[in-house]
Amino acid sequence: MSKNSLWWQNGIIYQIYPRSFMDTTANGIGDLNGITNKLDYLADLGVDAIWLSPIFPSPDVDFGYDVADYVAIDPRFGSMVDFDHLLKESHKRNIHIILDLVLNHTSDQHPWFKESRKSRDNPYHDWYLWKDPSPKGGPPNNWCSIFGGSGWEFDTQLGQYYYHMFCTGQPDLNWRHPEVRETLLNVFKFWLERGVDGFRLDVFNMYFKHSELPDNPKKLIGLRPFDRQVHKYEVSQPEMDPLLNEIRQLLDSYGSTYVVGETFLASPEHTASYCGQDKLHAAFNFELAESPWKVKRFTRAIKNWEKAVEDHAWPNYFLNNHDVTRSSSRYCRGEDDARAKVSAAMLLTLRGTPFMYYGEEIGMRDISLKHSQILDPVGKRYWPFNKGRDGCRAPMQWDDSVNAGFSSTASWLPVHPDYISRNVSKQKTEPGSLLNFYKQLIQLRKEHPALNQGSLSILDPQNKSILSYLRQTPDENILILLNFKQKQITYQLPKQIADQNWRVLFSEKRQIEELCQEQSILMTPYETLILVAD
Ligand code: NOJ
pLDDT (tens digit, 9 = 90+) per residue, 325-349? 999 999 999 999 999 999 999 999 9
Q: What is the pLDDT of residue 515?
A: 86
Which residue type sits at 289? A
Give Cβ neighbours of residue 311 (< 8 Å, ≥ 6 apart).
none
Of residues 339, 318, 342, the one with CA closest to residue 328: 339
- In this structure, is the dihedral angle defined by the CA atoms of residues 297, 300, 304 and 305, taken in order, positive or negative? positive
Mean pLDDT computed over 288-302: 97
1 pLDDT more than 70: no
- Taking the CA of residue 389 as reference, the ligand 1 atom at the shortest distance is 5
Q: How far is the CA of 316 from the centre of ligand 1 (A)?
A: 19
Residues 349, 385 within the same domain: yes
**CA 186 – CA 103 distance, rounded (Å):** 12
Quick one: 292 and 378 in the same domain?
yes
pLDDT of residue 156: 97
Its pTM stands at: 0.98
Structural domain includes residue 217: no
Listed range (13-22, 224-233, 423-432, 506-515) with the worst mean pLDDT: 506-515
pLDDT of residue 5: 67
Helix (H) or strand (E) holding 468, with range, is: strand 466-473
Kind plus residue range of the DSSP H or E element containing 269: helix 268-272
435 and 522 fall within a common domain: no
- List CB contacts of 75: < 8 A, sequence separation 6 or more: 57
- Containing 306, the helix (H) or strand (E) segment is helix 295-309
- Our mutation pick for probing the ligand 1 site, out of 323, 325, 392, counting the most ligand atoms within 8 A of Cβ, is 323
Among protein residues, the one whose CA lies closest to atom 2 of ligand 1: 202
Asked whether residue 154 falls in the same domain as residue 285, the answer is: no
> Looking at the structure, do residues 463 and 510 belong to the same domain, yes or no?
yes
Helix H or strand E segment including 181: helix 178-194
- Cβ pair 493, 462 in contact under 8 A: no
172, part of any domain: no
Domain count, the chain: 3
Indicate which atom in ligand 1 lies nearest the CA of residue 378. 7
Look at residues 417, 442, 467 and tell me which one is the last residue of a structural domain. Answer: 442
Residue ranges lining ligand 1, Cβ < 6 Å: 62, 65, 102, 166, 202-203, 262, 322-323
Q: Tell me: pLDDT of 120 over 70.
A: yes
Q: End of a domain among 414, 442, 470?
A: 442
**CATH number for the domain that contains residue 41:** 3.20.20.80
Residues 279 and 380 in one domain: yes
Query: Does residue 176 contact residue 237 with C-beta atoms inside 8 Å?
Result: no
Q: Which of 48, 262, 360, 527 is catalytic?
A: 262
Is residue 476 classed as helix, strand or coil in its secondary structure? strand
Q: How many CB atoms lie within 10 A of CB 165?
A: 23
74 has catalytic annotation: no
Task: Give one DSSP letter per residue of 372-425, joined into a string.
Answer: GG--SHHHHHHTTT---SGGGGPPP---SSGGGGS-SS--SSPPPGGGGTS-HH
Assign 194 to helix, strand or coil.
helix
Residue owning the nearest CA to atom 6 of ligand 1: 65
Checking if the pLDDT of 113 tops 90, the result is yes
Angle ∠(187,282,168) on CA atoms, nearest 5: 50
User: Is 60 exceeded by the pLDDT of residue 185?
Assistant: yes
Q: Residue 3 above 60 pLDDT?
A: no
Residue 519 belongs to some domain of the structure: yes
pLDDT of residue 4: 65
Q: Are residues 363 and 431 in the same domain?
A: yes
**500 in the same domain as 425:** no
Q: Of 413, 442, 471, which marks where a domain is finished?
A: 442
Both 279 and 402 in one domain: the answer is yes
307 is a domain residue:
yes
Closest residue to atom 11 of ligand 1, CA basis: 65
Number of H helices, E strands in the chain: 16, 19
CB contact burial 238-251 (16+ within 10 A = b; e otherwise): eebeebbeebbebb
Asked if the structure places residue 171 within a domain, the reply is no
Taking only the tens place, the pLDDT of each residue in 368-388 is 999 999 999 999 999 999 999
Measured CA to CA, the distance from residue 526 to residue 56 in angstroms comes to: 42
User: CATH number, domain at 128?
Assistant: 3.90.400.10
Residue having the nearest C-alpha atom to atom 5 of ligand 1:
323
Per the structure, the complete domain to which residue 41 belongs is given by 7-106+178-211+235-442
Q: Is residue 324 part of a domain?
A: yes
- Would the pLDDT of 143 be above 70? yes
Which ranges of 195-259 does DSSP label H, i.e. alpha helix? 240-252
Whole-number pLDDT of residue 173? 98
Confidence of residue 517 (pLDDT cuts 50, 70, 90): confident
72 and 15 belong to one structural domain: yes
> Does any domain span residue 39?
yes
Distance from the CA of 47 to the center of ligand 1, in angstroms? 24
Quick one: 512 and 435 in the same domain?
no
What pLDDT digit, counting tens, does each position of 476-489 carry? 999 999 999 999 99
pLDDT at 269 over 70: yes
C-alpha of residue 286 to centroid of ligand 1, in Å: 14
Q: Average pLDDT, stretch 397-415?
A: 97
Read off the pLDDT of each residue in 432-458 and give the average, rounded to a whole number.
97
Q: Which DSSP category does 317 fall into?
A: E
pLDDT of residue 404: 98
CB 272 within 8 A of CB 309: yes
What pLDDT is stored for residue 15 in this prediction? 98
For ligand 1, the distance from its centroid to the CA atom of residue 275, given in whole angstroms, is 20
For the cut 60, the answer to whether the pLDDT of residue 266 exceeds it is yes
Name the amino acid, one letter, at 149: G
Ligand 1 pocket mutation, candidates 65, 145, 201, 324, criterion most atoms within 8 A of CB: 65
| Averaged pLDDT for residues 241-267 | 97
- Residue 522 is predicted with a pLDDT of 95
Mark whether 239 and 135 lie in a shared domain: no
CATH number at residue 466: 2.60.40.1180
- Chain-centre distance for alpha carbon 294: 22
pLDDT classification of 200: cutoffs 50, 70, 90? very high
Q: Which candidate in 62, 202, 234, 390 is catalytic? A: 202
Of 175, 203, 180, the closest CA to residue 65 belongs to: 203
Three-state DSSP class for residue 473: strand
Distance of CA 19 to the CA centre of its chain: 16
CA 196/CA 52 separation, integer angstroms:
11
Mean pLDDT of the chain: 96
Is there a domain that residue 2 lies in?
A: no
Task: Tell me, yes or no, if 202 is annotated catalytic.
Answer: yes
Reduced DSSP (H G I as helix, E B as strand, rest coil) percent helix, strand, coil of the chain, to 5:
30, 20, 50
Contacts 24+ apart (CB under 8 A), 471-477: 471/349, 471/351, 473/449, 475/449, 475/450, 476/448, 476/449, 476/450, 476/532, 476/533, 477/450, 477/532, 477/533
Q: Which residues contact 415 (CB under 8 A, 6 or more apart)?
A: 367, 394, 395, 397, 403, 404, 406
Q: In whole angstroms, what is the distance from residue 151 CA to residue 508 CA?
A: 52
